[in-house]
Amino acid sequence: MTTTPIDLFASALHFHPDGDVRAAERQMTSSNSGTWQISTFRVETDADVHADYWEMHPEAEEAVCCLTGGVRLYFRPTTPGGTEDLVQLEAGTAVIVPRGRWHRLELNAPSDLMSITLRHGTRLEKRTDTR
């Protein structure tokens, strides 16, 4: 096997249940069941993180990691009329998003982010409560 560097900002790493790891195209809303994806992103605007959408992963938790910059991660209220929960992430920090919990991001500054999750079944839903 020949080993070559993988550009993590251009490809994702897919970890398969059989132990194989492969560089592949990022998949934002679904991938093969049982395949975990590690994706790294350079983001400069809220549009880059789809701030106008809620996201949810029904089959696994997600680690959202802020490598550089800073972001705000919001959790959708669990009750009607409730308020969003907010987690501030600075460079070098991460948060674990619970399985099945709707969440979204907004930027404090241009950032490098990493996401680790099982993408199978991921859902996106347009926000209707935008300011």
Instruction: Reduce the secondary structure of 45-58 to three states and give it as a string.
Output: CHHHHCCCEEEECC
In the predicted model, residues of the chain with pLDDT beneath 50 are none
The pTM for the full model equals: 0.90
The torsion angles phi and psi of 64, rounded to 5 degrees, stand at -105, 120
Q: Mind listing the pLDDT tens digit for each residue in 4-26?
A: 999 999 999 999 999 999 998 88
pLDDT of res. 25? 87
29 to each of 8, 70, 129, how far by Cα in Å? Answer: 18, 24, 22
pLDDT of res. 13? 94
Class of domain 12-126: mainly beta
Give the torsion through C-alpha atoms of 11, 108, 84, 48, to 10 deg: -30
